[in-house]
Amino acid sequence: MHQRFSRFPLVTSLALAMTLATAATSAEETEKTTSEAGFAECLTGIEQKAVAAGVSQNTATTVLADIEHVERVIELDQSQPEFTTTFADYLNRRVNEARISQGRELLEEHRNLLNRVTRETGVPAAYLLSFWGLETNFGSYFGKMSVPDSLATLACDPRRSTYFTGELISALKIIDEGAITVDQMEGSWAGAMGHVQFMPSVFLKHAVDADNDGKRDLWNSLDDALMSAGKFLQSMGWDSEYRWGREVLLPDGFDYALADGRKLPLGEWRELGVTDAFGNALAREDISAALVVPAGHKGPAFLRYKNFNVIMGWNRSEFYAIAVGHLADRIAGAGELRNPPPTDTPNLSRNKIQELQETLGQKGFKTGKADGILGPTTRAAIRDYQQRRDLIADGYPDTELFAALGINIETAASNDG
């Protein structure tokens, strides 16, 4: 039996392998060089825009000359979580006993400063502490990424170039005014900065020098940070006469279709049998409120007032707004939710939500783009389908809904959070 050899001598095979490897390396280097050239060209354009917007030539040139492209920023920006977060998981991670206890201690420690901010802005102390606690765990972590590097990386990415170019120019203006040096300007991967995680454009519009040391410093001056937070909330219409909202109890047989974002006078909610969390009748005050059931009919219900929308001006997440309000209540001395969210609700994969959207669409219910995101359009479609099938129309994707649609969620659910 004879051994079969390749038609190419060994030396030829090695040469071919080396040639292919060299070609691949050369292609990678060429691509890298092209990418670097494109990034440099982008920064040149931003420098011109920054100077035209009022940034000094020296600051624009000096800062942008040392900018580095951070691939990790692009990875974080493009990444999407595999599983959605349940309301129970979101709330319990953020409003916990350790944070509540620390918030109450800081309420006493910084009483004079907090009272001053409340007098000038109308925002109560507990809310200021709640934002501070949720944004940076009361100043314990600001983020360690270079804000100019992060913003430049995002500005030179085509998906949201206009927005992040504006934020980078705002960051250059902050450096230009002497609020902080470029080396000290650290924050999140998306460019949020300081105790209360302001984006640069928000800093420029709303940051103040509350301690009168000649600069607006949201990193090292708590006076500046909390007063700036108060001013920002005030600018968005914070109403000092009312709270964020409240937990409520709903009567048996309640029509959950009313939890579709509509606003009704408090008196109408009262007539519908809605009570406060202790079963007491709601006041007959002349204010409007909308009902929110973030975990469906098995979880807590809330009436949201005007200040809820102000909180969402800070962060567009409904979960975030509830967490801010509830943490503020707890810091101020309130107890736990009377009806806590169920903790056995599975985390649904984005693929499973996309399948839900596609299935509803096939049945004639408009969910918008099947993107795996449980937004208001998808919730409205779920509510419509639930009403059609005589299910509880809370707009929540529970196991009953998936069963009715014939979608198996066993293999796609996770409770690991």
Place of tokens 């937070």: 229
For residues 48 and 56, what is the distance between their CA atoms, to the nearest angstrom? Answer: 11
- Cα–Cα distance for residue pair 153/146, rounded to 1 Å: 11
Nearest to 73 by CA among 175, 169, 136, 144: 144
271 three-class SS: helix
pLDDT more than 90, % of the chain: 84
In this structure, is residue 358 part of a structural domain?
A: yes
Q: Torsions phi, psi of 300, nearest 5?
A: -70, 155
| Domain CATH code at residue 352 | 1.10.101
Q: Kindly report, residue by residue over 315-348, the tens digit of the pLDDT.
A: 999 999 999 999 999 999 999 999 999 998 888 9
Q: Is residue 229 a contact partner of residue 283, using CB atoms and an 8 Å limit?
A: no
42 part of a folded domain: no
By percentage, how much of the chain surpasses pLDDT 70?
90
Residue 41 lies in a domain: no
Q: What is the pLDDT of residue 204?
A: 98
The predicted structure's pLDDT at residue 398: 93
Q: What angle do CA 331, 332, 338 make, to 5 degrees?
A: 80
Output the pTM of the full model. 0.88
Per-residue pLDDT tens digits for 357-388: 999 999 999 999 999 988 899 999 999 999 99
DSSP type of residue 341:
P
DSSP-derived 3-state class of residue 56: coil
- Provide the domain limits for residue 394: 347-414
Query: How confident is the model at residue 165, as a pLDDT?
Result: 98
Query: What is the per-residue pLDDT for 345?
Result: 87
Spatial contact of 248 and 276, defined as CB atoms under 8 Å apart: yes
Report pLDDT for 214.
96
Listed as ranges, residues in the chain with pLDDT below 70 are 1-34, 410-417
pLDDT score, position 4: 35
CB 55 within 8 A of CB 176: yes
**CB contact set of 42 (below 8 Å; sequence gap of 6+):** 152, 155, 156
Query: What is the predicted pLDDT for the residue at 19?
Result: 45
- pLDDT score, position 35: 82
Is residue 402 domain-resident?
Answer: yes
CA distances from 99 to 94, 119, 129, 326, 328 (A): 8, 25, 10, 12, 11
pLDDT at position 415, please? 45
Residue 371 lies in a domain: yes
With respect to residue 404, please indicate whether it lies within any of the assigned structural domains: yes
If one counts the domains in the chain, the total is: 1
Please report whether residue 162 resides in a domain.
no
Bridge partners of 304, per DSSP, are: 245, 290
List pLDDT tens digits, range 162-219.
999 999 999 999 999 999 999 999 999 999 999 999 999 999 999 999 999 999 999 9
Looking at residue 84, its pLDDT comes to 85
